[in-house]
Structure 1
Amino acid sequence: MASENTSPGTQPALPPAESERHASWLELFFDLIAVAGVAQLAHLLHGTPGAGDLGFYCLLYLAFWTAWMCFTTYGNVAADKVHTRTVLIGMFGLAVMAAAVPGVRTDHARAFALAYVLVRVLASRVWQHRGEVVADWPIAQLSVGVVPWLVSLWAEAPTRYWLWTAGLAVDLGLTFALSRNRILARAQEEWEERAAVHERETGPRPAAARFDARHLDERLGLFTLIVIGESVALTVEASSETEWTSRLGSMAAGSFVLLLALWALAVRRSCGVPLLGFGVLAPRFALPLHCVSTGALGALAASLGGAVEHVEERLPAGMRWLMCGSVAVFLAVGLVAGVISGRGARWALGAGGPMVVVPILLGAFAGRGSPSVLVWALVAVARWPWLYEKLDTRRTKQGTAPA
């Protein structure tokens, strides 16, 4: 994990703490509530979604994921000092957001926005008396991005959606615009100013909060695993309401194997982000990759459920692009993560490039094939990185073997 240069008056960047701590039952319960919202969001892409539907899904998913991550950060740093009541209130807020999704375009939009504001404010308040600065993921502590959401309570569509977008953009912008040392230095300056005014120390001097790297990797992996499980559940639900034929059997088997292949890339040997090694990236760079990859999995779940309903006919273009595009985005994250994890340019060209380009080509030219054939083609794409590494290992052994 790369460290930034320290400036005068700041503390040097500390490596993330590591322990044998695992996710608690409370944290697992919290994750289930969050993914229940993801399942609700997947229904926004039901049928033949257009560009507007996809954009709306991305907006709401980012809000859900941000709210979840704020409390995940709190649990990761606070460990056994977490206030259970605070987490339970946050869970209730996420549950309200999830319940509001079906009517979020109409009369439930204000309930969704209000629940988001309360969750974010509650998540930021837990740090006030801890004397810690979440310099690696400032969204968890800053609440300035909540202001547009609060204003949206008095706005109508589509203005309210633009306000939501602006609020999330402010959060992300501050996260990447402000360096770790700058955030910490600013917090210490404010503490010194308060101490000078009151002529005494006002609480502990701010220090950088340290992430538990192994615990964070586990939480990210569990969230990804639960999203994949929701994809299986949506496919099973759609299959139970469709006449069982040989094409449906092929489609169902292909969907399961495809999700299994994506699970192998993201969870089996990675930290919830496809092909990203453990502890390779700082949280402020690893967490956005996790958001994008799990969001793609949620969209894929919607497309697989819709494909089951069209198993005996051609897949509508919008649904085909949603399926192929979701896989392409997920594997594009894997390409970036694989290169960052040290797989090199040769791997990027031989394995990473095809697994991103081929799904796009399938989306453009596979309109005449059956949905089951398309799914099995995507299975081959998702398994290509594994096959490439097997072949590359075999070539290396043959090249170094004695004559």
Structure 2
Amino acid sequence: MPSLRLSGLTARDPAEQHRAATPLELLTDLCFVVAVAQAATQLHHFTTEGDLASGLIRYGMVFFAIWWTWLNFAWFASAYDDDGIAYRLLTLLQIVGSLVIAAGVPRMFEGDFTLVVVGYLIMRVGLVVQWLRAAAGDPDHRRTCLRYAVGIPVVQLLWLVFLTGDVGLVYFLVCVACELVVPVWAERPNQTRWHAHHIAERYGLFFIIVLGETILSVTLAIQESVDEHDLQRGLAYVVLGGVLIVFSLWWLYFAHGSGDALERARGTGTEYVWGFGHYAVFASAAAIGAALAARVDYWERELVHGHAVESGPSATLLCLSVAALLAASWVVKVRPDDPSAATAGRWGAAVGAVVVLVLVPAPEIWVGLVCVVLLFTELRGQARGADRGARSPA
């Protein structure tokens, strides 16, 4: 039974058998996706209004705040989750912070960072307390834990400048760089005892939830337009293309990589590429939902209202999002598992083809077909590799 003890947290065994995500972690993911959905909705609106560049910049900024706090929680929990009452309460405090961030997303897209910074601050307070508890209960990693407990609030002070409103993209990137430096610096004395298979599962579950948000955003966009008979052709393009894209990307993500690959990366520095590189995977996955919803808006204006609408913003967002997800998936999932030139060539060709498809009508269909072809070639390549392994002498 969980206990309300405020003493230190002891490190968990990184080789623990059958380690799986807890109900509290699943609840946390669900609440974080509320913020993801808000960010994707705003990106959808900016794209539909033709202001894609501004929308992408704001989306990238707010998604970093969401993803970075989720990442910090996930890796800390993998090393120190004791499921005690104090641990649960501090985690719930972080969830409250994620909901405040979600509430502030629309304002942030308009240039008001107040709620997002406040939510971020709430989450960081909860995490710093957790690191102090870990420092007290894990003497072998005390120095590492204290570095986190110092580095996190120092960087948080930099984010408070956003409350003045007089900041730009360059300052934001400086803050991001400082955030990324903290775990690299903190882990240098003695790396925390995270569980590779648990982390791989946590990332996989979050990817599934983000894809689910993508499906939901498209469903809602179609629901708003389904009564328009003249829109049926456009809706068919979006539905078919969206299904091909989402299902293929899900399959491709889980076709490569596992906790074993992450375990092999432990202590080599490449675990940071794996962990940090998923920003592009998650952000582009959610952006695909915004792009498909924007494609529904495009077809509605074109087919129903007869407006001569530029398809460029929605088509560009769709193609860039899918291309970014494929490229990031190759870096963090495929390459560590299969670094062959043939595999790199297949994925590179798919990325290039998706980017070029921004120029064709109804790109959602063609992008979906490219994803299906890539999936087919990957499965075929894996089957051939398995056959060669079975025929080789022991």
Q: TM-score, normalised by structure 1?
A: 0.78
Contact 1:251–1:311 (Cα < 8 Å) also in 2:
no
Residues 70, 140 of structure 1: 8 Å contact kept: no
Equivalent position of 2:155 in the other structure = 145
1:3-59 residue CA offsets vs partner (Å, 9 max, x unmatched): xxxxxxxxxxxx943431211111111001111100000122121332222111111
| Two-structure CA RMSD over aligned residues (Å) | 3.0
Distance 1:387 1:291, change over 3 A: same
* Same amino acid, percent of matched pairs: 25
Cα distance in 2 between the residues matched to 1:338 and 1:74? 25
| Alignment-mate amino acid for residue 29 of structure 1 | L
Shift of 1:247: 3.4
| Corresponding residue of 2:8 | none
Whole-Å separation in 2 of the counterparts to 1:33 and 1:139: 24
Q: Which residue of 2 aligns with 1:339?
A: 335
Q: Residue 210 in 1 paired to residue 193 in 2? A: yes
Selected match of 1:386 from 352, 364, 375: 375
> Helix, strand or coil: the match of 1:20?
coil
2:161 aligned with 1:165: no
1:265 aligns with 252
1:110 aligns with 2:114: yes
Report how far residue 208 of structure 1 moved.
3.7
CA change 1:109–1:392 in 2 (3 A) is closer
Distance of aligned partners of 1:375 and 1:234 in 2 relative to their CA distance in 1, 3 Å threshold: same
Distance 1:61 1:233 in 2: 18
Q: 1:277 to 1:358 in 2, by over 3 A?
A: farther
SS state at 2:151 partner: coil
Q: For residue 62 of structure 1, what is the amino acid of its counterpart?
A: F
Distance of 2:257 and 2:68 partners within structure 1: 21
Match of 1:86 among 90, 93, 112: 90
Structure 1 counterpart SS, 2:156: helix
Aligned length: 349
User: Does structure 2 conserve the Cα–Cα contact (< 8 Å) formed by 1:238 and 1:305?
Assistant: yes
Q: 1:134 to 1:18 in 2, by over 3 A?
A: farther
Kindly indicate which of the two structures has a greater share of residues assigned to helix.
2
Query: Do the aligned partners of residues 291 and 140 (structure 1) sit closer, same or farther apart at CA in structure 2, a change above 3 Å counting?
Result: farther
Please give the alpha-carbon distance, in whole angstroms, between the structure 2 residues aligned to 1:360 and 1:317.
12
Give the 3-state SS of the residue equivalent to 1:22 in structure 2. Answer: coil
In 1, Cα distance between equivalents of 2:236 and 2:112: 38
In structure 1, the residue matched to 2:62 is 60
Q: Which runs of 5+ in 2 are unaligned?
A: 1-12, 136-140, 303-308
Report if aligned partners of 1:44, 1:53 keep a CA contact under 8 Å in 2: yes
Matched, 1:377 2:366: yes
Q: Which amino acid aligns with 2:69?
A: A
Q: Give deviations 1:312-359, integer Å, cap 9, x for gaps.
A: 63662121111000011111112323222224112212x111111111
Tell me if 1:305 matches 2:314: no
CA shift in 2, pair 1:344/1:90, >3 Å = same
Letter in 1 for 2:222: S
CA distance in 2, matches of 1:141, 1:304: 42
Find the aligned partners of 2:89 and 2:352 in 1 and give their Cα distance.
47
How far 1:148 moved relative to its partner?
A: 1.0
Structure 2 Cα separation of the partners of residues 134 and 64 of structure 1: 27
Task: In structure 1, list runs of 5 or more residues that go unmatched.
Answer: 1-14, 185-206
Query: Following TM superposition, by how much is the alpha carbon of 1:379 offset from its aligned partner in structure 2, in angstroms?
Result: 1.4
Distance 1:392 1:121 in 2: 48
Measure how far apart 1:249 and its partner are: 2.4
Kept in 1: contact 2:104–2:115 (CA 8 A): yes
For residues 239-281 of structure 1, give each alpha carbon's deviation from its aligned partner in whole angstroms, at most 9, with x where no partner exists. 0111251431242122122101111112365459xxx955454
Alignment of 1:2-401 (within 5 A): 16-46=14-44, 47=48, 48-82=50-84, 83-106=87-110, 108-131=112-135, 132=141, 142-143=151-152, 144-153=154-163, 155-157=164-166, 159=167, 162-176=170-184, 178=185, 180=187, 183-184=188-189, 208-242=191-225, 243-244=228-229, 245-267=232-254, 270-271=257-258, 277=261, 279-282=263-266, 283-311=271-299, 313=302, 316-336=311-331, 337-349=333-345, 351-363=346-358, 365-366=359-360, 369=361, 371=362, 374-392=363-381
Matching residue of 1:4: none
Conserved 8 A contact 2:73-2:127: yes
1:102-155 CA distances to partner (integer Å, 9 max, x unpaired)?
12245852121122122123212211132336969x8787312212112332x1
The residue type paired with residue 360 of structure 1 is V
Helix, strand or coil at the partner of 1:310: helix
Q: Structure 2: how far apart are the matches of 1:262 and 1:361?
A: 19
